């Protein structure tokens, strides 16, 4: 069965709740495309207003992060139950910005992935190399390690429903999209890694996105690659351009 594409916006730390509602109202008529899953991953404070504004559309709402404990004395964190209670279906985990600025590690990402599955939330698990790693020729070694640790303890049935976002760090927010060949090569490598860890059926089912300076011009070729099942879009998800990305065909 063909994998359904998943195109997600990652708003990062942008959009106040009132700006968020205005953006959803602008994008709503532009992202009508039942053939793809459309997810807006938004700051925690925007989740409820975005859910309300998106009602009646095919926009699904995701969080940008989540903690791995159930509840308790973890000031400033968001629990999985808080997300599911309002209808959040996806959560971005292990974004390179969280790894760089907020001390996320492969081990904490793994704990969050397990917790997300426990609560029926689909994790969008991020991985990606630095420019130095690419130049040193260790891209695939590094990403295989990130992926293998993120999936420790995850069953094949769970892994089939997961989303992996391959985001080379050097391509994020830089305007430097990876070439289509580079993106396809790594996404194929990630799928092969999943096949090794699990089996072919799991590798065939899991969805792998590319992220890093995706825009309306680069999306069609990227998303046409056999192992690229959509995108995780930063800057361009805050603009009407996102409508063109969702309707990339």
Residues that bind ligand 13P (CB under 6 A): 10, 95, 167, 172-173, 211-214, 232-236
Would residue 95 show up in a list of annotated catalytic residues for this protein?
A: yes
Total residues found in the chain within this entry: 249
Burial of 85 by CB count in 10 Å (0-12 exposed, 13-18 middle, 19+ buried)?
A: exposed
Facing residues of 37 across strands?
A: 6
In the bound state with ligand 13P, the residue whose beta carbon lies nearer, of 143 and 198, is 143
For the CB of residue 48, give the shortest distance to ligand 13P in the complex, in Å.
22
Q: Which residue is nearest to ligand 13P (CB)?
A: 234
Would residue 119 show up in a list of annotated catalytic residues for this protein?
A: no
Record the tokens describing residue 72, joined without a space. 């308790």
In the bound state with ligand 13P, the residue whose beta carbon lies nearer, of 125 and 232, is 232
Whole-angstrom CA distances from 185 to 4, 58, 87, 188, 195 are 20, 31, 35, 5, 15
Catalytic residue among 64, 95, 97, 129: 95
In the bound state with ligand 13P, the residue whose beta carbon lies nearer, of 4 and 176, is 176
For the CB of residue 240, give the shortest distance to ligand 13P in the complex, in Å.
15
For the CB of residue 125, give the shortest distance to ligand 13P in the complex, in Å.
12
109-138 as b/e: b if 16+ CB within 10 A? bbbbbbbbbeeebbbbbbbbbbeebbeeee
Active site (catalytic) residues: 95, 167
């Amino acid at each position: 069965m063909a994998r359904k594409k998943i195109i997600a916006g990652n708003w990062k730390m942008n959009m106040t709740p009132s700006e968020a509602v205005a953006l959803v109202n602008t994008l709503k008529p532009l992202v009508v495309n039942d053939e793809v899953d459309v997810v807006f991953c938004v700051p925690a404070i925007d989740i409820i207003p975005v859910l309300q504004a998106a009602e009646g559309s095919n926009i699904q709402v995701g969080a940008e992060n989540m903690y791995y404990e159930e509840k308790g004395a973890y000031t400033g964190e968001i629990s999985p139950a808080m997300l599911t209670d309002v209808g959040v279906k996806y959560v971005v985990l292990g974004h390179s910005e969280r790894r760089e600025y907020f001390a996320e590690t492969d081990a904490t990402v793994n704990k969050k992935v397990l917790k997300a599955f426990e609560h029926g939330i689909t994790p969008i698990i991020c991985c990606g190399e630095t420019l130095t790693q690419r130049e040193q020729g260790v891209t695939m070694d590094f990403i295989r390690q990130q992926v293998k640790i993120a999936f420790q303890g995850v069953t094949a049935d769970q892994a089939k429903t997961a989303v992996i976002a391959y985001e080379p760090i050097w391509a994020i927010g830089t305007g430097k999209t990876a070439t289509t060949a580079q993106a396809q090569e790594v996404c194929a490598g990630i799928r092969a890694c999943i096949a090794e860890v699990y089996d072919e059926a799991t590798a065939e089912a899991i969805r792998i996105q590319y992220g890093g300076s995706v825009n309306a011009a680069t999306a069609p070729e990227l998303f046409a690659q056999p192992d690229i099942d959509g995108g995780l879009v930063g800057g361009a998800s805050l603009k009407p351009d996102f409508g063109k990305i969702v309707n990339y065909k």
